[in-house]
Amino acid sequence: MRILVIHGPNLNMLGKRNKKHYGACSLDDINGMLSQTAKKNLVSLLVFQSNHEGELINFLQKNAQKASGILINPGALTHYSYSLRDALEDTNLPTVEVHLSDISKREPFREIDVLDGIVIEKIVGLKEKSYIVGLENLINYIRRKRSL
């Protein structure tokens, strides 16, 4: 099983951003935790971060055929990127969306989530643990589907 892990804009700055919303972990810290979780579950990860919407879409289009699922924190693209939504939907892969903060309890514009309806689950507000819970839930979902 191979999972695509996608980090959207500004997530390369984790550890330096508002710790109240995003926690103290860096992106490298989070990727390390994800790697440990994947290893424990005998899963491989292909990790990618970009501040550019088109690069995220190119990554999906290039790698989706070789993947079993997607774990994504789209960052601010969550609220307006219909092209990223379309690219995710076109993969036909189970996708879990994660956010470090609870986007529903922040600024009003963050209440809009254009990925609603295409993700199998959304994990929010657990800081770095959002990623771990999201990855574990995605792995379990894929394994359940395969055993049917």
Closest to 112 in 3D by CA, of 102, 120, 103: 103
How high is the pLDDT of residue 106? 82
| Domains, the chain | 2-119 (3.40.50.9100)
**Annotated catalytic, 141?**
no
**Annotated catalytic, 99?**
yes
Q: Are 113 and 103 in contact (CB under 8 A)?
A: yes
For residue 97, the cross-strand partners are: 72, 122
Q: Name the stretches of the chain with pLDDT < 70.
A: none
How high is the pLDDT of residue 12? 96
How high is the pLDDT of residue 103? 86
Distance CA 61, CA 20 (A): 34
Q: Are 103 and 130 in contact (CB under 8 A)?
A: no
How high is the pLDDT of residue 81? 96
How high is the pLDDT of residue 116? 95
How high is the pLDDT of residue 35? 98
pTM for the model: 0.95
Integer CA distances (angstroms), 85 to 32, 76, 101, in order: 27, 13, 20
DSSP string, 122-141: EEESSTTHHHHHHHHHHHHH
Per residue in 96-119, pLDDT (tens digit) is 999 999 888 888 887 889 999 999
Closest to 45 in 3D by CA, of 6, 75, 8: 6
Per residue in 71-86, pLDDT (tens digit) is 999 999 999 999 999 9
Considering the candidates 80, 99, 131, 141, report the single residue annotated as catalytic.
99
Percent above pLDDT 70 for the chain: 100
How high is the pLDDT of residue 51? 98
Considering the candidates 22, 52, 79, 141, report the single residue annotated as catalytic.
22
